[in-house]
Chains A and B, each alone.
Chain A
Amino acid sequence: MRRFSWFNATSLTFGFAFLYLPILLLIIYSFNESKLVTVWGGFSTKWYGELMRNEAMLDAAWVTLRVAFFSASLAAVLGTMAALVLVRSGRFKGRTLFSGMVYAPLVMPEVITGLSLLLLFISLNLDRGMLTVTLAHTTFSMCYVAVVVSSRLVTFDRSLEEAALDLGASPLDAFFSVTLPIIAPAVIAGWLLAFTLSLDDLVIASFNTGPGATTLPIKIYSAVRLGVSPEINALSTILIAVVSLGVIVASLADKQLAKSRGNQAQ
């Protein structure tokens, strides 16, 4: 086993300090008694209490969670289908267009996606609200799911599926009893990614939201425009904690799963 060289250790230390210090400071100052950012007024959790009494914030959080849940679930299904098409379906008419439509949203500037979807909803006479935000989020996050799942699918051993087919399973049966359990970790990772992307999105939601469907990022954004506030720090800390916990638990579970599979195989 090699050790860290001096140069590598330094660049990693500085790199990770740069990545994490701002978040760390944000978390520390959410426990600040004083309302001023730079003055440390002692440890306090009063901003968290304040947050819990902020009805508008709680409403926005509830809207955001529902939108994220529905759009992530829809995106997981559609994205997995898209990945299967990309990896498995071989050549068909319009394949280039299809892969273009899957990859382009990954880098498309959000203002364009937001504007174009809004104009679509208006020409469809669809009232803006939770439904339109959910549809918009599903569209861009299904592409992320497709990328995550297809990277798992390309390393997938097709002979397993063929064996199931030879033994008389229908393609649908073979998919649900052989393929899906194996690619499940990627689908779950895709779902989590879609969930956090939706939780996080400001620009696309701003274009496509309507009365009664204010999401948390929209709420945070309008508060942030007025300046730094410890209450927003507290809210950010909660969001960061939830997401980090989710990601860490998911990756540990994945590792555990891989380990138990390895044991079974032995």
Chain B
Amino acid sequence: MEGRLGRIVLILVPYLWLLVFFLVPFFIVLKISFSQTAISMPPYFPTFDLSEGWSGIKAAFAELSFDNYVWLTEDNLYIRSYLSSLWIAGTSMLITLVVGYPIAYGMARAPKAWRPTLLMLVILPFWTSFLIRVYAWIGILKKEGLLNLLLTNLGIIDQPLTILNTNTAVYIGIVYSYLPFMVLPLYSTLEKMDFSLIEAAQDLGCTPTSAFWKVTFPLSLPGVVAGCLLVFIPAVGEFVIPDLLGGTQTLMIGKTLWNEFFSNRDWPVASAVAIVLLLLLVVPILVFQRLLERQQEADAR
């Protein structure tokens, strides 16, 4: 009897927690995205007044509208922010893949005794503050910063480059911050790979390059997909990097949402922005989940 009850309690506690603090909030965001802006606290209406019972709820429902969503299509700031977020996240994802792959490959082919240390070295930056790692780049990239200082002293440039407060700085920031997320899944697939397959391919006449594209890369695809999703999804909604490294012309939807909320205090529009962003990410998030679940099933076997 204790076992049955225990099982129910075990499931119910985390289940209820996530329902209340993860799922329910989304429905609140959804509801507020259909509300209208008001100068009051909270700054929107209708608010559901449960004391008036059913008629109150009905009256509140009647006042909900699609105005905020219509607004998102009318002001092209939002559409441009969405598109530019997708573009920046996609481009950074590809750069991160190109930068991360050789690192993961090098780790997977390193002598076995070295691998735990190398793994540790990749994970360690992930543990140190994100904000601090982004901040570190300000000192490097700014006009009188360390990179310009180095390049001028080496005589490579005579005019300091403007990198900080441009999209280039945002790309650098995303690649740098999310690199461990790309390297770790790549490493875990590459490490399990049977490298004698490559020797076989080469024995059969493949050049090292074609052996890579025909054998190594296809076998590492699960890691590539996982790494790309882990970089792409959070990067689309990124706020800190475009805000600190990007310029005024850098449009990203996370920043737009933040400004809508904190500067314009327009909660309904901020909610509508969040809902659209979520819709954009639903497919990649579902793919990511399937991948994690399949991974777990494979581990269990």
Which residues of A are at the interface with B, using a C-beta cutoff of 8 A?
A: 1-5, 7-9, 11-12, 15-16, 18-20, 22-23, 25-26, 29, 36-38, 78-79, 81-82, 84-87, 89, 92, 94, 97-105, 107-112, 115-117, 119-120, 122-123, 135-136, 138-139, 142, 146-147, 150-151, 154-155, 170-172, 193, 196, 199-200, 202-203, 206-207, 217, 220-221, 224-225, 227-228, 232-233, 236, 239-240, 243-244, 247-248, 251
Q: Which chain B residues in 255-294 approach chain A with CB under 8 Å?
A: 257-258, 261-262, 267, 270-271, 274, 277-278, 281, 284-285, 288-289, 292-293
Stretch in B59-67, B72-80, B138-146 touching the partner: B138-146
Are A251's CB and B230's CB within 8 A? no
- Specify the chain B residue showing the minimal Cβ separation from A84: B10
List of B residues within 8 angstroms of A150 by Cβ:
296
For residue B19, CB closer than 8 A to chain A, the reply is yes
Taking a contact as CB atoms closer than 8 A, the residue among A25, A107, A155, A244 that contacts B139 in the complex is A25
Residue of A nearest to B18 (CB): A101
Q: Which of B125, B137, B144, B285 contacts A20 (CB 8 A)?
A: B125
Answer yes or no: B22 CB below 8 A from chain A CBs.
yes
Q: Which residue of B lies closest to A97 (CB)?
A: B23
- Which residues of chain B come closer than 8 Å to A12, judged between CB atoms? 103, 106-107, 110, 118
Q: Please report the C-alpha to C-alpha distance between residue A199 and residue B106 in the assembled complex, in whole angstroms.
A: 32
Given contacts A26-B136, A98-B18, 16 further A-B contacts (CB under 8 A): A2-B111, A4-B110, A8-B106, A11-B103, A20-B121, A37-B146, A81-B10, A99-B289, A104-B289, A110-B239, A115-B261, A139-B21, A154-B296, A224-B244, A240-B129, A243-B127
Q: Decide if B14 touches A85 in the complex (CB within 8 Å).
A: yes
Interface string of B196-210 (1 = CB under 8 A from A): 000000000000000
Indicate whether A38 sits within 8 Å of B240 (C-beta atoms), given known contacts A217-B131, A220-B131.
Answer: no
* A26 partner, pick from B11, B132, B261, B289, beta carbons under 8 A: B132
Contact of A101 among B19, B274, B277 (CB under 8 A): B19
Residues of A within 8 A of B293 (CB): 99, 103
Q: Which residues of A contact B277 (CB under 8 A)?
A: 109, 111-112
Q: How many residues of B contact A (CB 8 A)?
A: 95
Q: What 0/1 pattern do residues 44 to 63 of B give for CB contact below 8 A with A?
A: 00000000000000000000
> How many whole Å from B153's CB to the nearest CB in chain A?
11
Can you name the residue of chain B whose Cβ is closest to the Cβ of A13? B106
A8 to B105, CA, bound (A): 7
Q: Is the CB of B112 within 8 A of A247?
A: no
**Interface status of B238 (Cβ within 8 A of chain A):** yes
